[in-house]
Chains A and B, each alone.
Chain A
Amino acid sequence: GENVEQHPSTLSVQEGDSAVIKCTYSDSASNYFPWYKQELGKRPQLIIDIRSNVGEKKDQRIAVTLNKTAKHFSLHITETQPEDSAVYFCAASGNGKLIFGQGTTLQVKP
């Protein structure tokens, strides 16, 4: 089945810097890759997603890139702000199931 690995597990940046979180997946048939943000005590919320027929997608300060050949995808956050502090989960669809990575705790220091 699908396996998703996510790195790093924790990331600390200064406000205004960029943050990059990387995920690799194992099932070459996976075709949908969402990213979820979960603030402390709150529900996971979709922040951006990408499908396998697209290499890159951007939404304001957030972008996701996908390399199907290498089977990895990344989340890029530019001009980070304290409110970006949260746990971020990547996911990949495999066999009709959404498989989550282990999460990255992002801390943005003011």
Chain B
Amino acid sequence: DTEVTQTPKHLVMGMTNKKSLKCEQHMGHRAMYWYKQKAKKPPELMFVYSYEKLSINESVPSRFSPECPNSSLLNLHLHALQPEDSALYLCASSQVRQGAAPLHFGNGTRLTVT
């Protein structure tokens, strides 16, 4: 029973493909995040949305493009990725912006770039 839902669970894409990751939460949280996690490493912050506005971009390459259509949804659009982008992509949400409230993570999308 995950309160933050991510789709798809697994994704294999070529370097020329365009795909999107989706995330949904219905806890009324106003902050949503994308993290990237490599094996045996901590989650690495990519983007933060606060009240549906992008508030933090951790110098992520433009081949990753976030979108927050409304307070419950968060997308990550992928284009022209590299094999080193293969990782677990985690979405998270919190009541208020990061650093002040617990993060609730989704189960992640396991991305493989071939």
Chain A residues packing against B (C-beta within 8 Å): 32, 34, 36, 42-46, 49, 87, 89, 93-98, 100-103, 105
**Assembled-state Cα–Cα distance A53/B45 (Å):** 26
Smallest CB-CB separation from B101: which chain A residue? Answer: A32
**Chain A contacts for B104, CB-based, 8 A:** 46
Chain B residues packing against A (C-beta within 8 Å): 2, 40-43, 45, 56, 90, 97-108
* Beyond A95-B99, A98-B98, 7 extra complex contacts between A and B, CB < 8 Å: A43-B107, A44-B90, A44-B103, A49-B102, A94-B99, A102-B41, A103-B41
B40 to chain A, nearest CB (A): 7
**Assembled-state Cα–Cα distance A66/B104 (Å):** 23
Decide if A97 touches B45 in the complex (CB within 8 Å). yes
Check A45/B105 contact, CB under 8 A, given A97-B56, A101-B42, A102-B42.
yes
**Assembled-state Cα–Cα distance A45/B105 (Å):** 7
Check A89/B103 contact, CB under 8 A, given A43-B108, A97-B56.
no
Decide if B102 touches A34 in the complex (CB within 8 Å). yes
